[in-house]
A = this chain, B = another copy of it.
Amino acid sequence: MPELYDVVAIGNAIVDVIAPCSEDFLANEGLIKGSMALIDEAQAQQLYDRMAPGIEASGGSAANTVAGVASLGGRSAYVGKVAADVLGEVFAHDIGAIGVSFATAPLKGGAATARSLINVTPDGQRTMSTFLGASNALTPADLDAEMIKAASVLYLEGYLFDPEEARKAFAKAATVARDAGRKISLTLSDGFVVDRHRAGLMAFIESDVDILFANETEVKMLMQTDDFDAAAAGLRPHVEIAALTRSEKGSVIISKTGTETVAAAPVDAVVDTTGAGDQYAAGFLFGFARGRSLQDCGRLGSLAAAEVISHYGPRPQTPFKDLAAKAGL
Contact = CB atoms under 8 A, between A and B. Distances in A.
Given A86-B86, A317-B20, A317-B312, A55 B52 contact: no
B86 A53 contact: no
Contacts of A323: none
A315 to B, nearest CB: 7
Given A86-B86, A311-B311, A94 B53 contact: yes
Contact of A54 (B20, B52, B85, B94): B94
Nearest to A18: B55
Contact of A97 (B53, B95, B311, B315): B53
Contacts of A312: 55, 311-312, 317
Interface residues on A, range: 20 to 34
Interface of A: 19-20, 48-49, 51-58, 67, 85-87, 90, 93-95, 97-98, 311-313, 315, 317
27 contacts: A19-B97, A48-B93, A49-B93, A51-B93, A51-B97, A53-B58, A53-B67, A53-B93, A53-B94, A53-B95, A53-B97, A53-B98, A53-B315, A54-B57, A55-B55, A55-B56, A55-B312, A55-B313, A56-B56, A56-B57, A56-B90, A85-B86, A86-B86, A86-B87, A311-B312, A312-B312, A312-B317
